A and B are shown apart, each in its own frame.
Chain A
Amino acid sequence: MGSQRYLIGKIGQALLTMFFILTFNFFLFRVMPGDPVTLLTKTSNVELNAEQQQQLREHLGLLEPLPQQYVTYIGNTVTGDLGVSTFVDPGEKVSTIFFRDFPKTLVLVGTSTIASVALGLVLGIRGGWRRGKALDISSMTGSLILYSMPEFVLGILFLLLFTKYLHLFPSGGYRSVGVEYTGLAYVIDVLNHMFLPWITLTLAYIGEYYLVMRSSLLDVLGEEYITLARAKGIREKFVLRRHAVRNALLPTVTLVALSFGFVLGGAITVELVFSYPGVGKLSFDALDQKDFPVLQGTFLIFSVAVLIANLIADLLYGYLDPRVRSMR
């Protein structure tokens, strides 16, 4: 069946891309002028003499021939060994650090993306359907402004407004320090801390989804099958639901998937603004302290996340559009 072929094809493609990402990641860190160890000693405060440097090199497996290193790297990564952090959490396994920090980012980015996409699409449909009315114009203006704002600027605005001046929310972190909450109180505490970064990320991208959905819907409304649907005597709201929206969703899904990479980028800056201890802040710390194993790991994680998001989008698209499912 066409659908199965499509499914398998897309998953296969994703796996292949994953492999390329791993390869890319490997070579990325070997592009540096000078090897990792020299860079380590140059950019940090660690003092190592020549012999110690050579020992470190051997320990890190840098003395092996390149192809050997490559194979080791792939093998390690696939089995979950991402190396050991040097500065952020010295000695701690990178994978452990991720297990600690990634869920926080996942919850933040996951839920805000869902909210952002859902709201953006619904408003976009309304705006496109009732073009020119008050709702459309105000939404468009709001969307344009939000679209032109860097996420961290929005975050800083909220920080100033709600934390500094209105004292409504904490200034950052994941939970209150010095107090041990349990159960419901713990959840509320976390939500309290998560709210500002969450609303920042949601609002930061809503504009984009709104504009894309609206424009896509307007494109579809000009098609002949919409006129035909009306000519058949179908009520306006069913014309919208049964004919227009389903077609308008197609390019929107693609574009939403494409923008996921930017959403993750935004997560990094927003986590920084609110000191939210997720993978974003982690990568910033790793950058700051030149912790290459962690950096390599975060790069990998972000790429895989975008890959999975794209895969989901592809599958969704296949469900919505019968044309791609057919055997050509």
Chain B
Amino acid sequence: MSVLSLRDVRVTYRTKGGDVPAVRGVTFDIAKGEVFGLAGESGCGKSTIAGSILRLHSPGTRIEGEILLDGQSVLDLSPGKLRAVRWTGASIVFQGALHALNPVRRIGDQIVEAITVHNLAGEKEARVRAGNLLEQVGLPPRRIEDYPHELSGGQKQRVMIAMALSCNPSLVIADEPTTALDVMVQAQVLRLLKALQRDLGLAMLFITHDLSVLVEVSDKLAVMYAGKIIEEGPAERVFHSSVHPYTKALAAAFPEIGNTRFRGRPEGLGGDPPDPQAIPEGCPFHPRCSEAFDDCSKIVPELWDAGEHGRRAACLLASGAPVTSKGASL
């Protein structure tokens, strides 16, 4: 049984300017001990998915589809049961630990809070556990007395990780955990995450826009664009032999140091992601796509087979896509 299972999940925000469909039908599974990477530019919906798993969005947000955590449907839980599942079923490591920690409370208290709220231990025991958790992430236990502003960015992120592990969750959601950090610190934190995941056998949902990071940590990888998954498969394959032009562009934007493929300058991608309220006809990516042709603006692609081991891509160029008349490219 998968730890996390999403079936055709759609998330729509309610705003003053109308409904915004941030996620338009996403399906994937994460098995025990597996690291699943979710990539895409800002606004593609990946962070929305992270918030939906624990139902953290504002009350007006509409979530449809199925989200199963440890076999339980999250969307059907009563508020009390939902609170019980939060942090114990799945926990989140937030991006930008700058403001993810309450600045006026000691970090030890904030970790202890997570433990005592779920009645996993008494106050004293919880403090000991908090110290142990800090040790696990490479910080001296006495720092539980510190306030967030007394820590560096990397240290704060470690505290976030320690806090995420405090209730032994089945799934850890890492939402851009390294984006706000310096490159050197990034590498350290990534190493830590990999080690912890391996040692504790955690399932992890790793969300970031940096594909090169995902290749390092993930087993499987999915790329999102305009609220949908447009390519998925084993991480290495998706990165090194991308099918969808968007994936290729994304991979080219974040070079792997040492990989000869990136000897040239990193290339960016022109244009901007589409406004969720004004998604182009046919393939949402076709206006920016260098390999687009006539049918791309007419047919809405689905995830078709594009290779072995569950490789799929939502592109007419995929091997499993319906045969089309490839007219002259645009």
Asked if A and B form a direct contact in the complex, defined as CB atoms under 8 angstroms apart, the reply is: yes
Residues of A that sit less than 8 Å from B by CB: 223-225, 227-235, 242-243, 246-247, 250, 320-323, 326
Which stretch, B89-97, B213-221, B227-235, touches the partner chain A?
B89-97
Choice from A232, A247, A322 contacting B86 with Cβ under 8 Å: A232
Known: A224-B100, A225-B101, A320-B104. A231 touches B150 (CB 8 A): no
User: B56 interface residue, CB < 8 Å from A?
Assistant: yes
What are 17 residue pairs bridging A and B, where the CB atoms are less than 8 Å apart in the complex?
A228-B94, A228-B101, A231-B91, A232-B87, A232-B117, A233-B86, A233-B87, A233-B114, A235-B83, A242-B105, A242-B113, A243-B102, A246-B105, A247-B103, A320-B104, A322-B103, A323-B104
Q: Is the CB of B149 within 8 A of A322?
A: yes
Q: Is the CB of B54 within 8 A of A322?
A: no
Q: Name the 10 nearest CB pairs between A and B, nearest first.
A: A233-B86, A224-B100, A233-B83, A225-B102, A322-B147, A232-B114, A224-B99, A232-B87, A233-B87, A323-B149
| Distance from B167 Cβ to chain A, minimum over Cβ atoms (Å) | 8
Which residues of A are found within 8 Å of B83, using beta-carbon distances? 233-235
Q: Is the CB of B113 within 8 A of A232?
A: yes
Q: Which residue on chain B has the smallest CB distance to residue A229? A: B102
Which residues of B are found within 8 Å of A227, using beta-carbon distances? 51, 56, 94
User: B330 interface residue, CB < 8 Å from A?
Assistant: no
| Distance from A250 Cβ to chain B, minimum over Cβ atoms (Å) | 8
Q: Which residue on chain B has the smallest CB distance to residue A321? A: B104
Q: Is the CB of B99 within 8 A of A231?
A: no
- Which parts of B47-87 form the interface with A (CB within 8 Å)? 51, 54, 56, 83-87
Q: Is the CB of B104 within 8 A of A247?
A: yes
Choice from A247, A250, A326 contacting B102 with Cβ under 8 Å: A247
Q: Is the CB of B147 within 8 A of A224?
A: no
User: B118 interface residue, CB < 8 Å from A?
Assistant: yes
Q: Is the CB of B150 within 8 A of A223?
A: no
| Distance from A35 Cβ to chain B, minimum over Cβ atoms (Å) | 54
Residues of B that sit less than 8 Å from A by CB: 51, 54, 56, 83-88, 91-92, 94, 96, 99-105, 113-114, 117-118, 147, 149-150, 163
| Distance from B49 Cβ to chain A, minimum over Cβ atoms (Å) | 14
CA distance A23 to B96 in the complex (A): 49
Chain A contact residues, majority secondary structure: helix
Most buried by A among B91, B96, B102, B103: B102
Which residues of A are found within 8 Å of B51, using beta-carbon distances? 227
| Distance from A241 Cβ to chain B, minimum over Cβ atoms (Å) | 12
CA distance A233 to B83 in the complex (A): 4
Which residues of B are found within 8 Å of A321, using beta-carbon distances? 103-104
| Distance from B311 Cβ to chain A, minimum over Cβ atoms (Å) | 33
Which residues of A are found within 8 Å of B100, using beta-carbon distances? 224-225, 228
Q: Is the CB of B92 within 8 A of A223?
A: no
Most buried by B among A233, A322, A326: A233
CA distance A62 to B51 in the complex (A): 75
Which residues of B are found within 8 Å of A326, using beta-carbon distances? 147, 149-150
CA distance A267 to B104 in the complex (A): 35
Choice from A225, A233, A234, A322 contacting B99 with Cβ under 8 Å: A225
Known: A227-B56, A228-B92, A326-B150. A233 touches B104 (CB 8 A): no
CA distance A323 to B103 in the complex (A): 8
Most buried by B among A225, A228, A321, A326: A228
Known: A228-B94, A230-B86. A322 touches B56 (CB 8 A): no
| Distance from B129 Cβ to chain A, minimum over Cβ atoms (Å) | 15
CA distance A81 to B105 in the complex (A): 48
Q: Is the CB of A246 within 8 A of B150?
A: no
Q: Which residue on chain A has the smallest CB distance to residue B91? A: A231
CA distance A2 to B85 in the complex (A): 40
